[in-house]
Amino acid sequence: MTFNTVSFLVQVGVLILALALLHKPLGVYMTGVFTGTTNARPERLFYRLAGVDADADQKWSIYLRSVLVFSAVSILVVFGLQRLQGVLPGNNGLAGVDPWVAMNTAISFVTNTNWQTYVPEATVGIVVQMCLLAVQNFLSAAVGVVVVLALIRGITRTRTDRLGNFWVDLARTSFRLLLPLAVLAAVTMVLGGVVQNFWATDVVNQATGVQQSIPGGPVASQEAIKILGTNGGGYFNANSAHPFENPSVFISLFQVFLLLLIPSALPYTYGRMVGDQRQGYTIAAVMGTLWLASTVLMGWGVAAAQGSATAAAGGLGEGFEQRFGGAPSAIYAAATTLTSTGAVNVAHDSLPPLAGGTAMLNMMLGEVAPGGTGSGLYGMLILAIIAVFIAGLMVGRTPEFLGKRIGPREMKLAAMYILVTPALVLALTGLTVLVPEQVANAPSSGPHKFSEILYAFTSGANNNGSAFGGITTSGPYLSALLGVAMLLGRFLPIVLVLALAGSLAQQRRIPQSSGTVPTHGWLFGSLLLAVTVILTALSYFPALALGPLAEGLIR
Amino acid sequence: MTPQRADLLVPTLADGNPLGTPGEHKHHTKKPARLTLASVLEALPLAVRKLAPRQMVHSPVMFTVLAGAVLCTAICIVRPTFFGIAVTAWLWLTVLFGTLSEAIAEGRGKAQADSLRASRQGVIAHRRLDDGSTVDVAGTDLTKGDLVVCEAGDTIPSDGEIIEGLASVDESTITGESAPVIRESGGDRSSVTGGTRVLSDRIVIRITAEPGQTFIDRMIRLVEGAVRQRTPNEIALNVLLVSLTIVFVLVTMALAPFAALAGATPSPIVLVALLVCLIPTTIGALVPAIGIAGMDRLVQHNVLATSGRAVETAGDITTLLLDKTGTITYGNRRAVNFLAAEGTGKETLIRIARLSSLADATPEGRSIIDLAAEQGITSPSLEELQRTTDGFDVAEFSATTRMSGLDLDGQMIRKGAGSAVTAFVKEFGGSVPPEIDGYVQAISAQGGTPLLVARIDPAVHDGARARVLGVIHLADVVKPGMRDRFTELRRMGIRTVMITGDNPVTASAIAAEAGVDDYLAEATPEDKLAVIKKEQDAGRLVAMTGDGTNDAPALAAADVGVAMNSGTPAAKEAANMVDLDSDPTKLINIVGIGKQLLITRGSLTTFSVANDVAKYFAIVPALFTATFPGLGLLNIMGLSTPASAILSAVIFNALIIIALVPLALKGVRYRAVSAQQALARNLLIYGLGGLIAPFIGIKIIDLFISLIPGIG
């Protein structure tokens, strides 16, 4: 395995260029989708089938209830049909899924985590893949987007308790944004060599006479939304390291581009919707800075391990996809953990310790650079509210965010938001390491054993879905605990964000003046960057020290 | 901490506050009590009493430290080690320093409260009964509606309103101003305050306050810090601090099993030490002191607020409604020019104008004499006039004539408003030269007041017998420095609106000269209320001053209403602040005090959180280097031993509280700059400074600690 610095820099440069070119047209397009007033025919059909009034404007509590009810029903459906797989058609001969695994998978796909405690090839058939998991890839991504949409409306609307209509937002995001983009992406992937069929292919090796059945399936169509919707649940167990999912360096880079695409264009949409493009650019700049720093750190972590003894013994090659090499692996690993994707083209377990630590740190940041579809932006906006609170006090004014006062209620919601994931990760990891049988699920020794457990809960609570693969999580204890981490890690923040949106929408707007802390520009951007890094680093530093740092810093 | 250093850190707000009133204003600032070793020792017993858990529970951050200290003490009793005892001792000091800062802040108000209390002790009131006779009762027994009689030398027993008579009153007990003030029944100067003293005459007062609710009672409670309610910003900050505390409690609790997995279980004392270092103790300890000191600063400026909330709101004000008279301009108009009619020499005009004002004691009249003197005409004086002439009659100003002047040697010399003088001249068959109209209009357009000067000379027998000689230009003079002040306010995002009873022409001219953002001319109290509502509907926060009963609705509607102490009880009741100096300019200082309060809190929060980075770099390698030698790389400060590193971090954490007490009491320096500039500056000092300072501080402490055997 080699790390080619030039190739690394070129790929990073291509990504920056592509995203810089596309964020504006996509941002403008999304603004149109979110603020449109007419309903297309498939949307009207959907409203009729779902029995919803598309003209209703919902209060935050009703909006939230719609999110929760929709997600709960989704979990039940995905769980139930997995259990019934044995009697359903298109099961590829596979039986009903184990209840713990089915529960974990249902939660995982509905929460946009896409943690895979199962081996897809051996667990789920084509119908479950296409009709349950792929559908959830669309819907869970759309839920993230609609939540941030409600938050933006909370910021822009004044003296109202209405935040829009969840069902309309969901339908438009799915039909007008995710579906067309996914089709484009799938076609590109097929052209790039990603498999798209419905049957396994039988091949006979002419030389040896060995007959093989190569599994196939509608991979490209599922891969497209897996990446685009920052989901990350692979069609195959090897995920994006599998040649059918990710055949070349080009497709690998294309996937990184796709998973950054919507999250990095959303700030532009946000800027347009709040009527001040500088706001969007500042958020995008903070996200971009973090992404670049993390990607470079990851690249350095991988590259630095080249000269080490492990590498000399051939150790570093383990877990890396030889077709890609170091640079694409590092770029992919950084992007997948900075968004809530969790798709992998390298076994994160095999990353050099400091690179693995960077992957964990990326998730611990709260996945805000640029984060999951929607969830990245709302995470960053919450951090911006905390930053503006501190900044407001420092200039002697009751803090305001875009003309809305950050009072005790707003602060309570924002502070609880930033409390949720660290609390889940630390408490559940702490609880697990106290149980020797569960610790045994992580097969490694030394600090890496701890890293595997820490990674699992960090990934679950942050709805990432990538894993230090060594750990076995299909047992009831870890399945359930990770399920709790994923559920609470997804929906508690959503509750808080929507409550915050409701509270902001009720306020009148305070006009901006030179006495208002500007929430754009380099100064606020730097503060936001510092708040993001310090708040997370402070909660996780000891844990990281005992895991990747202890492993990586060798004297 | 030496007392000398503390002294250096305590200048008055007015020195450092750009919004402080320009030096020539009469209002005075009480010097804040100095932070001396004596005042610290005096606060110590109170600080110890404040360690009671019942009091500590109000500050979750410090309560956590207290709980940690108790836990460590228990461990030390069971298994005493030198290191454990040292850490435990410093944990107790951390808690104590927190309560001490609060006790010191409260102590500064205490002296004032004591003297206020003394002012009312043993006051006997002469209560007037229905039949007109009086009976002596204790001042504290008076209730609302009682009538009392006060004569020269009596102390006024409670707050009230004069219903009969007039008296000069010494209000120095509450205002610190020794010059007596006149209080009389009717009008806007009828209210009196309990604890002040009648110097002359006799008045009858109707008591307007219930026992225990008088002005002085409220003031005592305020300066003692007893009625401190949490303000919204304080609550929001507390929420953030509590959530950070919860995170760090989880971090340390989870660290035990994490570390146990690696076989490096830290001792509970070390974990408590880590927890205390990580939670925001610096700001958590200083929040009460900052709040009390903010109220104290207000009291030093002779302003009484009904709640801390009002002080904080003052910092948020975006629109100031300022009364023109007395705030933006000197209260009186002054003569600034003489404009002679054609055919009248300028010197003649000045001479006649001067004569017309010789017996006029009004400020306008005096200003005409002054202007004449400036132009070289200083005689005759009234005495000279008496000697050199056959005598003269003074024509006093009256509401019917609207003119004043002299009858001298048969001549009638008058000055007065345009219409009055015109009528007067016409009555004697004279006329007004056409250019006079031009002068009058020009003066009005500049915001001035024209006074016509006329002479009726019976010795002359042609058309010039009754003549208008010219015009005196009286102008409202804008106080020096106001324009700069409004520019500063604008930079800070505060709009100023001038309120005046003048006509729109005059108002706009003065508004332009003073540089206010907007003005309201011919303002009635209803107009003020309408302006407030309009500004508030646009999302702005409004502050205003007022003193009359008809100001009360507007004072109540404003976000910050400051009543003049000389005002009516209704105005004082409606306002949420009372300015004891009755100085309308004070509003600008109040805004500064409110801002400073928030800035101090925000800056110390930033400092406190930024400190954590260095503490991690001290403690984490100390905890785990034995197990993972590689983590020694994180010991970038090069601290000598794990024990010394942990102890140094704990000591730094405790000492920084006490080191920042003077800053908390004095408030972070505050300048009139835009939010962007203020943020850049404070982030640099308290954010970056907060990152760097503890690295240096902990290293220095480590250098000393490591000399102790068993630690180093």
How far away is chain A from the Cα of B662, in angstroms, using its nearest Cα? Answer: 18
Tokens of A168: 């309309």
Instruction: State which amino acid sits at residue B309.
Output: R
B602 and A418 in contact by Cβ < 8 A? no
Measured CA to CA, the distance from residue A140 to residue A106 in angstroms comes to 11
Measured CA to CA, the distance from residue B496 to residue B492 in angstroms comes to 11
Radius of gyration of chain B (CA): 34
Instruction: State the pLDDT at residue B226.
Output: 55
Chain B residues in contact with A360 by the CB 8 A cut-off are none
A393 and B255 in contact by Cβ < 8 A? no
Per-residue confidence band for B228, with pLDDT thresholds at 50, 70 and 90: low
Tokens of B24: 């020539």
Chain A residues in contact with B247 by the CB 8 A cut-off are 419, 422-423, 538-539
Measured CA to CA, the distance from residue A183 to residue A162 in angstroms comes to 33
Out of A129-143, B57-71, B426-440, least confident range: B426-440
CB B301 within 8 A of CB B590: yes
If one counts every other C-beta atom within 10 angstroms of the C-beta of residue B347, the result is 14
Q: What is the pLDDT of residues B136-152, one digit of tens each?
A: 888 888 888 889 999 88
**In which element (H, E) is residue A260 found?**
helix A249-273
Chain B residues in contact with A415 by the CB 8 A cut-off are 239-240, 242-243
Instruction: State the pLDDT at residue A10.
Output: 96
Measured CA to CA, the distance from residue B584 to residue B566 in angstroms comes to 11
Measured CA to CA, the distance from residue A494 to residue A378 in angstroms comes to 9
Out of A189-193, A335-339, A501-505, B116-120, least confident range: B116-120
DSSP annotation of B360:
-
Mean pLDDT of B125-133: 86
Residue A455 in contact with partner chain B when CB distance is under 8 A: no
Which residue, B644, B477, B599, B680, is CA-closest to A398?
B599
Mean pLDDT of A471-486: 92
Per-residue confidence band for B504, with pLDDT thresholds at 50, 70 and 90: confident
The residues near B179 (Cβ < 8 Å, ≥ 6 apart) are none
Q: What is the pLDDT of residues B505-528, one digit of tens each?
A: 888 888 988 899 999 988 887 888
Per-residue confidence band for A163, with pLDDT thresholds at 50, 70 and 90: very high
Chain B residues in contact with A434 by the CB 8 A cut-off are 257
Mean pLDDT of B153-169: 87
If one counts every other C-beta atom within 10 angstroms of the C-beta of residue B424, the result is 22
How far away is chain A from the Cα of B562, in angstroms, using its nearest Cα? Answer: 20
Tokens of A83: 């259990």
Per-residue confidence band for A159, with pLDDT thresholds at 50, 70 and 90: very high
Measured CA to CA, the distance from residue B560 to residue A413 in angstroms comes to 28
Could you tell me the pTM of the whole model? 0.87
Instruction: State the pLDDT at residue B8.
Output: 34
pLDDT at B495 over 80: yes
Mean pLDDT of A400-421: 95
A509 and B490 in contact by Cβ < 8 A? no
The residues near A440 (Cβ < 8 Å, ≥ 6 apart) are none
A429 and B258 in contact by Cβ < 8 A? yes
Q: Which of residues 460-519 of B touch A (CB under 8 A)?
A: 490-495
Best probe of the A interface among B311, B676, B688, B692, by most A CBs < 10 A, is B676
Residue B245 in contact with partner chain A when CB distance is under 8 A: no
Measured CA to CA, the distance from residue B223 to residue B296 in angstroms comes to 6
A534 and B609 in contact by Cβ < 8 A? yes
- The H-assigned helical ranges of A274-407 are 277-304, 309-312, 326-338, 353-364, 375-395
The catalytic residues of B are: 323
pLDDT at B404 over 50: yes
A393 and B540 in contact by Cβ < 8 A? no
Q: How many CA atoms lie within 13 A of B666 on its CB side?
A: 21
Instruction: State the pLDDT at residue B7.
Output: 35
Residue bearing tokens 């958020």: A283
CB B203 within 8 A of CB B167: yes
Kindly tell me the sign of the dihedral angle through the C-alpha atoms of B226, B227, B229, B234: negative
Mean pLDDT of A87-95: 87
Per-residue confidence band for B650, with pLDDT thresholds at 50, 70 and 90: very high
Instruction: State the pLDDT at residue B21.
Output: 38
Mean pLDDT of B481-508: 85
How far away is chain B from the Cα of A36, in angstroms, using its nearest Cα? Answer: 29
CB B6 within 8 A of CB B82: no
A411 and B680 in contact by Cβ < 8 A? no
Instruction: State the pLDDT at residue B176.
Output: 66
Domain assignments of chain A as residue spans, ordered by start: 375-553
pLDDT at B185 over 70: yes
Instruction: State the pLDDT at residue B402.
Output: 82
Q: Which of residues 598-617 of B touch A (CB under 8 A)?
A: 598-599, 601-603, 605-606, 609-610, 612-613, 616
A386 and B539 in contact by Cβ < 8 A? no
The residues near A197 (Cβ < 8 Å, ≥ 6 apart) are A216, A217, A218
Instruction: State the pLDDT at residue A469.
Output: 82
Out of A113-127, B570-584, B623-637, least confident range: B570-584
Tell me how long chain B is: 712
Q: Higher confidence at residue B11 or residue A42?
A: A42
> Which residues partner with B124 through β-bridges?
B138
Q: CA angle, A340 as apex, A335 and A344 as ends, to 5°?
A: 55
Q: What is the pLDDT of residues B279-290, one digit of tens each?
A: 999 999 999 899
Out of A92-96, A290-294, B462-466, least confident range: B462-466
Out of A268-282, A500-514, B21-35, B436-450, least confident range: B21-35
Residue A49 in contact with partner chain B when CB distance is under 8 A: no
pLDDT at B332 over 80: no
Distance of CA A479 to the CA centre of its chain: 20
Mean pLDDT of A450-469: 94
pLDDT at B25 over 70: no
Residue A413 in contact with partner chain B when CB distance is under 8 A: no
> Which residues partner with B198 through β-bridges?
B169
B318 and A511 in contact by Cβ < 8 A? yes
CB B425 within 8 A of CB B463: no
Measured CA to CA, the distance from residue B156 to residue B175 in angstroms comes to 15
A415 and B240 in contact by Cβ < 8 A? yes
Out of A44-48, A507-511, B210-214, least confident range: B210-214
Per-residue confidence band for B360, with pLDDT thresholds at 50, 70 and 90: confident
Residue A552 in contact with partner chain B when CB distance is under 8 A: yes
Residue A392 in contact with partner chain B when CB distance is under 8 A: yes
Instruction: State the pLDDT at residue B385.
Output: 80
Distance of CA B335 to the CA centre of its chain: 33
Angle between helices A476-505 and A99-110 (to 10 degrees): 20
The residue of chain B nearest to residue A404, with distances taken between CA atoms, is: B539
The residue of chain B nearest to residue A409, with distances taken between CA atoms, is: B236
B491 and A514 in contact by Cβ < 8 A? yes
Q: What is the pLDDT of residues B696-712, one digit of tens each?
A: 999 999 999 999 887 76
Measured CA to CA, the distance from residue B63 to residue B57 in angstroms comes to 6
Kindly tell me the sign of the dihedral angle through the C-alpha atoms of B113, B116, B117, B118: positive
Average model confidence (pLDDT) across chain A: 92
Long-range contacts (CB closer than 8 Å, 24 or more residues apart) made by A383-388: A383/A418, A383/A528, A383/A531, A383/A532, A383/A535, A384/A283, A384/A519, A384/A528, A385/A410, A385/A414, A385/A500, A386/A414, A386/A415, A386/A418, A386/A531, A386/A535, A386/B240, A387/A524, A387/A527, A387/A528, A387/A531, A388/A517, A388/A519, A388/A524
Per-residue confidence band for B463, with pLDDT thresholds at 50, 70 and 90: low
A550 and B232 in contact by Cβ < 8 A? no
Instruction: State the pLDDT at residue A47.
Output: 92
Instruction: State the pLDDT at residue B477.
Output: 81
Instruction: State the pLDDT at residue B33.
Output: 56
Per-residue confidence band for B11, with pLDDT thresholds at 50, 70 and 90: very low
Q: Higher confidence at residue B329 or residue B15?
A: B329
Residue B685 in contact with partner chain A when CB distance is under 8 A: no
CB B657 within 8 A of CB B288: no
Q: Which of residues 564-603 of B touch A (CB under 8 A)?
A: 594-599, 601-603
Instruction: State the pLDDT at residue A464.
Output: 95
Residue A522 in contact with partner chain B when CB distance is under 8 A: no
Which residue, A529, A368, A354, A310, is CA-closest to A448?
A354
Q: How far apart are the first and last CA of chain A?
A: 25
Tokens of B620: 């984490």
Nearest CB partner across the interface for B624, out of A449, A526, A546: A546
Best probe of the A interface among B17, B61, B231, B233, by most A CBs < 10 A, is B233
Residue A398 in contact with partner chain B when CB distance is under 8 A: yes
